[in-house]
Amino acid sequence: MNRLLIIALVGVVAQTAVARHAFRRGEELPAGVQSKKNIFYTERGHKKFQALDLYWTEPRGEKPALVWIHGGGWTTGDKKDDAAFCGWLATHGYVVAAVNYRLSPSPKEPGQRRAHYPAQIEDCQNAVRWLRKNAKEYGIDPNRIAAVGRSAGGHLASLLGTKDGEGCRVQAVVSYFGAHDPMPESKENAATVRLMGGTPEDKLALWKDASASTHVTRDDPPFLLVHGDKDRTVPLSVSENFRKNLEAAGVACELIVAQGGTHGGGLGQTTSPAMDEIDKRVLDFLDKHLKQEVRLR
Three-state DSSP class for residue 159: helix
- CA end-to-end span of the chain: 60
Please indicate whether residue 111 or residue 231 has the higher confidence score (pLDDT): 231
Three-state DSSP class for residue 124: helix
Answer yes or no: is pLDDT of 184 > 60.
no
pLDDT above 90 coverage of the chain, percent: 75
Torsion sign over Cα 95, 177, 229, 251: negative
Torsion sign over Cα 149, 55, 115, 215: negative
Answer yes or no: is pLDDT of 172 > 70.
yes
Q: Tell me the per-residue pLDDT of 105-122, one tens digit each, with 9 for 90 and over.
A: 987 766 656 899 999 999
Torsion sign over Cα 185, 191, 196, 200: positive
Least confident of 175-179, 199-203, 258-262, 290-294: 290-294
According to the model, what pLDDT value does residue 23 have? 53
Q: How confident is the model at residue 44 (pLDDT cuts 50, 70, 90)?
A: confident
Cα 24 to Cα 61: distance, rounded to the nearest angstrom: 26
Catalogue all structural domains in the chain, each as residue range(s) with its CATH number: 30-290 (3.40.50.1820)
